[in-house]
Structure 1
Amino acid sequence: MSTLDSFISSSTSRPPPECIATSQEIRDRGSTFVATIYPAASLKEARAAVAHVKNIVHRAKPASHEVAAWRCMVLRPGKTGLEGPDDFELQTGCQDDGEQHGGGKVLRAMQDEGILDAAVVVSRWYGGIMLGPDRFAHFETCAREVCRKFRLKDEIAGLIATLSTLDATLDTLRSQLAQLTAESTPLESRMPTETKASSSQKKKRDYSELQESLDISKAKRLVTARENESKVVRNALQKKRGQAA
């Protein structure tokens, strides 16, 4: 069985690595450069990502060079992670794949951008003309682009998680306020739409558009707005409870 067949066979039992971001292509004198970045929490996952790019993604059009680097924060042998940061160690590595010092350039870009638990692959299709030192600049430019996208996606994911938590808190506060308001309102004066409005507030909000846009400023504004809304409703709830006491 060939190496490619072995890789494909072993990959069928697990989901393929997920590409988080792809860089713009750089074309220079016939050569093409493009980078991709994958999550990788271990050396095994990093190598799987590199192999996936080479053997699956570029199977139909093999790149001349698959220059890669990875940085993974892993548990130290015999550690559980429960004792703090000292239980972990940083494992880094790179491969030149025929482009001497190319992997080091990619690794340096990851270090400068503060990227952890990821693998970056910069693929080059050689165009027949030697580029000299310029090729290293292209490796680094492509790598930095996907590293920055990786950080943005990680940050936006954290902000969306915060928004989801704030939404749930706000819905709970609103429900409590609506219940107290209903209890203090004469039956004949209650609005028939109160229950419907309360249930509609609990509908989970869709942040997929925000996730795609990577608009950090907008996400932060939404977080601030939700926090302010929660304060207003919480104050109203406290006031209502004080009136009922």
Structure 2
Amino acid sequence: MQVLENIISDRGSRYAVSGGPCHTPEEAALFLKELKRRKKFAKATHNTWACLTTDGPLKNDDGESGAGMVILRMLEREDLRDTIVVVTRWYGGKHLGGDRFRHVQEAVRQFIEARGA
């Protein structure tokens, strides 16, 4: 499991991104369970995620509507398969509007770059 914490901060909201191997819906559930063992991530406002598996795409917005699809599209563009990517947000009290999608994209981009290093 690779976790990049405190990568983006905007109007009080903070973001992290994490990821690891994932081939099935069951593995996705296990990954999230393991991530949420860290109290900080369990208390997060949103743990939005996506994964491209051989059985098809998996995604979950976790209340951040549309964010799972943003992650999924980026994984498809990069052809990054069998890897779950979770973008975590701690809400800071102010609505970010469309900027939240920019932040999700930037978080995924940082994960992909860190993974390639």
TM normalised by structure 2 equals 0.89
- Which ranges of structure 2 fall in alignment gaps of 5 or more residues? none
Contact 1:22–1:36 under 8 Å retained in 2: yes
Q: Deviations over 1:17-36 (max 9, x none)?
A: xx135266100000001111
Aligned residue in 2 for 1:39? 21
Q: Which residue of 2 aligns with 1:169?
A: none
Structure 1 alignment gaps of length 5 or more: 1-18, 74-89, 153-213, 215-245
Secondary structure, in 3 states, of the residue corresponding to 1:37? strand
Correspondence 1:69-218 to 2 at 5 A = 69-73=50-54, 90-150=55-115, 152=116, 214=117
CA positional deviation for 1:43: 2.0
Q: Percent identity?
A: 30
Give the number of the structure whose residues are more often helix, by fraction. 1
Match of 1:232 in 2: none
Is 1:20–1:39's contact at 8 Å kept on the other side of the alignment?
no
Matched-pair contact (CA < 8 Å) for 2:3–2:16: no
Query: What is the Cα deviation at residue 148 of structure 1?
Result: 3.2
Q: Looking at both structures, which has the greater relative contact order when contacts are Cα pairs under 8 Å and sequence separation is at least 6?
A: 2
1:68 counterpart SS class = strand
CA distance in 1, matches of 2:78, 2:3: 15
Q: For the residues of structure 2 that align with 1:123 and 1:39, how far apart are their CA atoms?
A: 17
How many aligned positions are there? Answer: 116
TM-score normalised by L of structure 1: 0.44
- Report the aligned-residue RMSD: 1.7
1:69 and 1:92 in contact (8 A); partners too? yes
The alignment partner of 2:62 has SS state of: coil
Counterpart AA for 1:45: E
Moved over 3 A (4+): none
Aligned to 1:51: 33
- Residue 48 of structure 2 corresponds to 67
